[in-house]
């Protein structure tokens, strides 16, 4: 199942459409030095997982009929401030996906997607799923 979601944003982002209307990656250096990028369509990348959604997590609801549900105020994600028992009562809770990585800087506490992955993604934009592994640091 798809776990990569590319959604438009009106906020700063390094994923943009170029003159040929193709997704491209804008490096931090070019963003500071080149005004031609200012008026491009911008996008954020969200990578989701099937992990349990806990209070304070960000999530996307994927409607089985219509695709992404943009929620209130045309917002593609919602910060979960409801108890876990609320999710347990939903008949379609499998359609709620926890956001675990993103380019959206407004999602406090969600790990940022690094530049290396963004460069790879624009070269492989048809990719709809990535496997994410979690590594724990060794105690010293």
* Side-chain half-sphere exposure of 6, counting CA atoms within 13 A: 20
* Strands 42-49 and 67-69, sheet pairing: unpaired
**Cα–Cα distance measured from residue 60 to residue 1, given in angstroms and rounded to the nearest whole number:** 14
* 77, burial (CB in 10 Å: exposed 0-12, middle 13-18, buried 19+): buried
**C-alpha–C-alpha distance, residues 76 and 96, integer Å:** 12
What pLDDT, on the 0 to 100 scale, is given for residue 73?
A: 47
* pLDDT confidence of residue 92: 55
List pLDDT tens digits, range 20-64: 778 888 766 555 555 555 667 888 999 999 888 887 888 887 766
Q: What is the pTM of this model?
A: 0.76
User: How many beta carbons lie within 10 A of that of residue 60, not counting itself?
Assistant: 21
For 68-100, write each residue's pLDDT tens digit.
655 544 555 666 666 666 656 655 566 778 899
Residue 45 CB contacts under 8 Å (≥ 6 apart), including other chains: 4, 5, 6, 15, 102, 103, 113, 118, 121
| CB hemisphere CA count around 38 (13 angstroms) | 5
> pLDDT class for 137, splitting at 50, 70, 90?
low
Q: Is the pLDDT of residue 135 over 80?
A: no
**Higher model confidence: residue 85 or residue 111?**
111
């Amino acid at each position: 199942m798809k776990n990569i979601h590319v959604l438009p944003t009106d906020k700063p982002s390094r994923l943009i459409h170029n003159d040929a209307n193709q997704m491209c990656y804008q490096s931090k250096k070019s963003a500071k030095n080149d005004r031609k990028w200012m008026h491009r369509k911008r996008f954020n990348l969200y990578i989701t997982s099937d992990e349990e959604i806990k209070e304070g997590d960000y999530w996307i609801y994927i409607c089985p009929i219509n695709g992404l549900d943009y929620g209130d105020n045309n917002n593609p994600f919602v910060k979960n401030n409801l108890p876990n028992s609320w999710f347990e009562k939903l008949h379609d809770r499998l359609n709620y996906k926890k956001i675990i990585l993103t380019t959206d800087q407004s999602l406090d506490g969600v790990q940022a997607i690094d530049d290396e992955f963004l460069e790879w993604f624009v070269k492989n934009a048809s990719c709809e799923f990535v496997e994410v592994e979690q590594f724990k640091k060794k105690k010293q």
